[in-house]
Amino acid sequence: MSQTDRLLSSLTADARGAPPSGIVEVMRHGHGKPGIVPLWAGEGDLPTPAFVHEAAARSLAAGETFYTLQTGLPEFRAALAAYHDRVYGPLFGRPFEPARFLVTGGGMHAIQLAVTAIAGPGDEVLVPTPAWPNFAAAVGIRGARPVEVPMRFGNDGFTLDLDDLAAAITPATRAIFVNSPSNPTGWTADAATLAAILELSRRHGLWIVADEVYGRFHYVEGRPVAPSFHHLIDEDDRVIFVNTFSKNWAMTGWRIGWIEVPTALSETIQNLIQYSSSGTAVFMQRAAIAALGDGDGFLAEQVARARTGRDIVAGALEASGRVRFSRPEGAFYLFFSIDGEPDVRRLGLRLVDEANVGLAPGTAFGHAGAGFMRLCFARGSANLQIAAERLKVWLDNGRSMG
């Protein structure tokens, strides 16, 4: 056994089993290629707006650099409650209590906290797939077992069959992960589907981890937000929301988010924060408060931009006649298959070489993603038009060559 193997073999199986990202290979392959349009990652092309990062700089200059409350500043929690009142209040039906919200070091940290709270070795957690892989990975590191519930692909894109979901429940099941609107598929659950999932939670005593990170990226006229568990739950329902400032306010690199729990859980989550991140910088929270309070305009522009982006790439791919997908109602990804191209891992590398466009292979999102590619359209039109044209040419050539 080599020295490296000896050291690795002395690590826990959970740690050794943590999978590398399925997107990294294609990103490495395309990194630095001249002129490439990189649509592989889950982020837009706009930097954080000035009114947000200037709030952080002011806080830093004012010396707000000391330890702070693990929960988040009272004004941070109040700002989140006010934001939720504004966005979800009409259907939530009561004021949001600031004590429901705790600051986290990003959406991933919120997920880690949720998973630690509700699942351990021997437990199972249901994950409808295709899904952003990090949730299942966090479950695995915790020593619990993520159980894929493959969604069905048809003319309406991916849909979750509630019988499939119910059939996956065993005595070991502790929770269901619900990401709507979905990364990568754009699946957006309607209220009836969410209600049915909530009913499963109530009947079986299961937790729901609700990832509604893309809830504001919703392209249905007259609806400021996608259907949400906030519209359905009572205070004693077992629903934990994980969320982030990353997408709405172009803060992917910051690593600040929040977890929203029944107030009965606040103290436990606070302790778990103490022993993972030990809190989030005050100057980060000042920026987040600015985003929550003054960021509606920026967010509306981002959503309009993504909607235009969606229509540019969807139009080009539809025109090719070789691509299968449904135009998504939410999130900012197109998830599509190409006729005659089942090997998407290799396809990702080829599209870098042959079309100078960077996409993520669907295999990065679970077995159910095999045969699909993910394209992020949260970018400026000019850039997306170039990518769409290149993909169209590549698809047309492929056909003529075929």
Residue 226 CA to its chain's centroid (Å): 14
What is the closest distance, in whole angstroms, from the C-beta atom of residue 272 to a copy of itself in the complex? 6
Tokens 């059939």 identify what position? 167
3-state secondary structure the chain: CCHHHHHHHCCCHHHHCCCCCCCHHHHHHHCCCCCCEECCCCCCCCCCCHHHHHHHHHHHHCCCCCCCCCCCCHHHHHHHHHHHHHHHHHHHCCCCCHHHEEEECCHHHHHHHHHHHHCCCCCEEEEEECCCHHHHHHHHHCCCEEEEEECEEECCEEECCHHHHHHCCCCCEEEEEEECCCCCCCCCCCHHHHHHHHHHHHHHCCEEEEECCCCCCECCCCCCCCCCHHHCCCCCCCEEEEEECCCCCCCCCCCCEEEECCHHHHHHHHHHHHCCCCCCCHHHHHHHHHHHHHCHHHHHHHHHHHHHHHHHHHHHHHHHCCEECCCCCECCEEEEEECCCCCHHHHHHHHHHHHCEECEEHHHHCHHHCCEEEEECCCCHHHHHHHHHHHHHHHHHHHHHC
**Nearest distance, CB of residue 385 and a copy of itself, angstroms:** 22
Q: Which stretch binds a copy of itself (CB under 8 A): 78-86, 119-127, 178-186, 345-353?
A: 119-127
Q: Which is nearer to a copy of itself, 280 or 326 (CB)?
A: 280
Chain residues 204-223 in contact with a copy of itself, contact rule CB under 8 A: 205, 207
Nearer to a copy of itself, 48 or 326 (CB): 48
CA 168 to chain CA mean position, Å: 23
Among 118, 178, 387, 388, binds a copy of itself (CB under 8 A): 118
Interface with a copy of itself by CB under 8 A: which range of 50-58, 155-163, 352-360, 390-398?
Answer: 50-58
Among 39, 119, 213, 347, binds a copy of itself (CB under 8 A): 119
CB of 69 to a copy of itself, least distance (A): 10
Least CB distance from residue 357 to a copy of itself, whole Å? 19
Piece in contact with a copy of itself (CB under 8 A), picked from 19-27, 306-314, 333-341, 388-396: 19-27
CA-nearest of 333, 359, 22 to 185 is 333
Which parts of 157-186 interact with a copy of itself (CB under 8 A)? none
| Minimum distance of a copy of itself from residue 264's CB (angstroms) | 4
Segment near a copy of itself (CB under 8 A); pick from 4-12, 77-85, 92-100, 223-231: 4-12
Residues 54-113 that bind a copy of itself (CB under 8 A): 56-57, 60-61, 63-68, 105-106, 108-109, 112
- Residue 113 neighbours by CB distance under 10 Å: 26
Closest distance between a copy of itself and the C-beta of residue 42, in Å?
Answer: 8
- Within 236-295, the residues that bind a copy of itself by CB under 8 A are 236, 238, 250-255, 262, 264-265, 267-268, 270-272, 274-283
Smallest separation, CB 20 to a copy of itself (Å): 6
| Minimum CB distance to a copy of itself, residue 177 (Å) | 14
Kindly state whether residue 18 participates in binding a copy of itself, applying the rule CB under 8 A: yes
**Toward a copy of itself, which CB reaches closer, 43 or 354?**
43
Peptide bond into 171 cis (omega under 30): no
Contact between 198 and 232 (Cβ < 8 Å):
yes
Binding mask 140-159 for a copy of itself (x = CB under 8 A): -x-x----------------
Q: Mark 323-362 with x for binding to a copy of itself (rule: CB under 8 A) and - for no binding.
A: ----------------------------------------
Residue with smaller CB distance to a copy of itself, 6 or 94:
6
- For a copy of itself (CB under 8 A), the number of binding residues is 78
